Amino acid sequence: MRSLRWVTVVLLLALVLLQWPLWFGQRGWPAVQRLRRQLHAQLLANQQASQRNAALSAQAHDLRSGTQAVQERARSEMGMIAPDEIYVQVLPASSPLPPLAPPSAPAR
């Protein structure tokens, strides 16, 4: 009976020694879970970057292939207008009026 108790203690000790690295080791279960979370975050970042790359690629294709995108960009970013267009600026009611241009002198 006494030898059975020693065998049980030795087997339990062996079980604990075998399980220790799984639960508390450098490459154990918590480390695997942490790496899975990092992988998931990286996959999300890659997906967002891929979508942004696709949008930039489409924008670059539009700028290379047609004048419509170039004109739109020139209007929105640089305030340019086409020769046959009329520029009208609508100010909010609360903003002050711009100064009036002095009348031009008649040509001689």
- Listing DSSP states for 8-73 in one string gives HHHHHHHHHHHHHHHHHSTTSHHHHHHHHHHHHHHHHHHHHHHHHHHHHHHHHHHHHH-HHHHHHH
pTM score of the predicted model: 0.48
pLDDT score for 44: 97
pLDDT band for position 92 (cuts 50, 70, 90) = confident
pLDDT score for 106: 66
DSSP-derived secondary structure letter, 59? H
Closest Cα to residue 36, out of 44, 82, 4, 107?
Answer: 44
Q: Provide the token pair at 12.
A: 């339990």
Cα dihedral sign, 38-41-42-43? positive
Closest Cα to residue 59, out of 76, 80, 75, 68?
Answer: 68
Average pLDDT value for residue range 36-62 = 95
User: Residue 31 pLDDT more than 80?
Assistant: yes
pLDDT score for 105: 61
Residues found in the chain = 108
Domain residues of the chain, as ranges? Answer: 2-76
pLDDT score for 108: 60
User: Residue 107 pLDDT more than 70?
Assistant: no
Locus of tokens 């979370």: 37
pLDDT band for position 95 (cuts 50, 70, 90) = confident
